[in-house]
A and B are shown apart, each in its own frame.
Chain A
Amino acid sequence: MERGYRIRSKPNYETLMWREKASAQVVVAKGAGGLAVLQLFQQMYPTQPVTVFYVRGNGSDTDHSATLARVVGDAIKLFDSETDALYAFYRSLPDFRMGTRFYVSGTESFMWSLCKLAKLFDIQESEIMMELSNSLARPVYCVHCKGTTPDVTTNIATCSKCSRKLFVRDHFSRHLGAYMGLMVDAENPGEVPEIEEIYP
């Protein structure tokens, strides 16, 4: 890795903090992201109406649902799958008014899937506070077949749609919510460098 060199489009994330000027608070988290939500509620239980959408962790993704249910109380909605949680979030958006603040914690694939749904309601990602958790795994967009492969942990990934070997770059598209993936052996088919886990 070249020293002092960075790709400006690569997103930086923050630590979730309540925005005190708000009419309502909406928090969405998955698995280990539940810890960020617990930290939020340690800051305070906000005065505004709160809704928490939480996807239970499974496997390597820690589950905080029991603690969250105790801390958050009736305001929590629990889901077993990411798709169900995102769908419920999306379906609830017409009920929220301007002044609602949004917070999300999870992997990049999860957070940017949520951003894409929010954008349909003209909520830009700059309005959503994001805290990365659980893993550095990346969503990767194949520039050849336009498919997106979620949760890639290696420097070179196999495209989930076209099976090309993709070199994972730092260039990030906020529109697509994914990193750019380029065929690694286009010039010398079959010559694929060593595949290493670098986004654990």
Chain B
Amino acid sequence: MSTLNVRVAAIEQVTPLVKHFTLMREDGQHFPTFSGGSHVVVAMDINGRTHRNAYSLMGSPDDTEAYHISVRRQEHSRGGSVFMHDNVVEGSQLQITMPVNLFSLSKMGRKHILIAGGIGITPFMSQLHDIQRNGYNYELHYAFRSLEHGAFSDQLKARCGNHAHIYVDRLGQKLDLRELLGSQPLGTHVYVCGPSSMVTAVLETARELGWPENHIHSEQFTAPPMGDAFTVQLAKSKTEITVPNDITLLEALETAGVNPDSLCRGGACGRCELDVLELDGEIFHHDHYLSDAEKASNRKIMPCVSRARCTHMLLDI
């Protein structure tokens, strides 16, 4: 995996829970351009363990001087976001991957409906650059808890004018999904990023109304679920590793020096898929990638999010 060494050039407290980080390359070179909706994975060294969290790039895809990410502090997570908030200061050094886009705009679309909840606004910040440059027809629907938590909402109102629709939960403002998705012209695509309840509601409403799958797009960066520790055997590396309760199988493999391919680290892209050769227990599949039949077969696992309860699981790596 190719990585870039970056330095934190600036930090801005955007809301009580959200910080905006401006990253510059250590070597003074320019960053590659990217497409709206891309993310990078930031590697953090926390107490000797490497944590990797994915964050959407928020700046303009044309800005190669700096990359911009925003991080919401998640108190009950495994510490990645807390580390970014409490330990990373201006001048700190971090490693990031090259940008990857699993949430790009459909160029054939005739209209684009962007639905964001809270920190889920971040991928749309860069998508809006692509949308506005190409003159696409769009609407932005942005919902958040209370006025103080509406990150970038003033900036978005200025950038998007009457394309932007803001919903402040505390003020009783609700987004009516059936009304919104039930009245869109043919060729419309919907994109949602936000808390899982919102993503589920959008997916279910769109499907219920008869929207075809290829017009529905979603992205979620949720912390991988934790569970009990378990042990796996690696067929090619001829070794055994234990996955502690608070790190993922993928992270445990990486810590052991076995580096499977990986991209999104959220169970969406399928890159880290591993073949399960033998298993004496059960796998807890938490990904959105494998089909139900594949999950039931217990022959494959996505180590970035899925775990197991077993005494013996032989992986083909």
By a beta-carbon cutoff of 8 Å, the part of chain A in contact with chain B is 19, 21-24, 93-94, 96-101, 121-124, 126-127
Contact = CB atoms under 8 A, between A and B. Distances in A.
Nearest to B107: A122
B92 to A, nearest CB: 44
A127 B214 contact: yes
Contacts of B187: 98, 121-123
Interface stretch (B97-105, B202-210, B242-250, B305-313): B202-210
Interface in B97-118: 106, 108-110
Nearest to A118: B186
B108 A23 contact: no
B182 interface: yes
A127 B163 CA distance: 28
Given A21-B208, A121-B186, 19 more contacts: A21-B207, A22-B209, A23-B182, A23-B209, A94-B185, A97-B182, A97-B186, A98-B181, A98-B185, A98-B215, A99-B181, A100-B186, A101-B210, A121-B187, A122-B109, A122-B187, A122-B215, A124-B212, A126-B214
A94 B184 CA distance: 10
B210 A22 contact: yes
A94 B183 CA distance: 12
Top 5 closest A-B pairs, CB basis?
A122-B187, A99-B210, A22-B210, A99-B209, A98-B184
Contacts of A98: 181, 184-188, 209-211, 215
Interface residues of B, number: 20
Interface in B172-229: 181-188, 207-212, 214-215
B51 to A, nearest CB: 39
A97 B214 contact: no
A100 B215 CA distance: 13
B168 to A, nearest CB: 27
A127 B181 CA distance: 18
A132 B209 CA distance: 27
Chain A interface helix/strand/loop/mixed: loop
The residue among A19, A101, A121 with the most chain B CB atoms within 10 A of its own CB is A121
Contacts of A97: 182-186
7 contacts: A23-B209, A24-B210, A96-B185, A96-B186, A97-B184, A121-B186, A122-B215
Contacts of A96: 185-186
A93 B209 contact: no
B214 A99 contact: no
Nearest to A127: B212
A100 B212 CA distance: 9
A3 to B, nearest CB: 30
Given A97-B184, A97-B186, A99-B182, A122 B210 contact: no
Nearest to B109: A122
A21 B205 CA distance: 10
B183 to A, nearest CB: 6
Contacts of A126: 212, 214
Contacts of A22: 209-210
The residue among A24, A122, A126, A127 with the most chain B CB atoms within 10 A of its own CB is A122
A89 B277 CA distance: 53
B110 A122 contact: yes
Given A96-B186, A97-B183, A122 B209 contact: no
Nearest to B106: A122
A93 B185 CA distance: 9
A93 B186 CA distance: 7
Contacts of A122: 106, 108-110, 186-187, 215
The residue among B181, B185, B210, B211 with the most chain A CB atoms within 10 A of its own CB is B210
Contacts of B207: 21
B210 A21 contact: yes
Contacts of B210: 19, 21-24, 98-101
Contacts of B185: 94, 96-98
Nearest to A20: B210
A38 B184 CA distance: 30
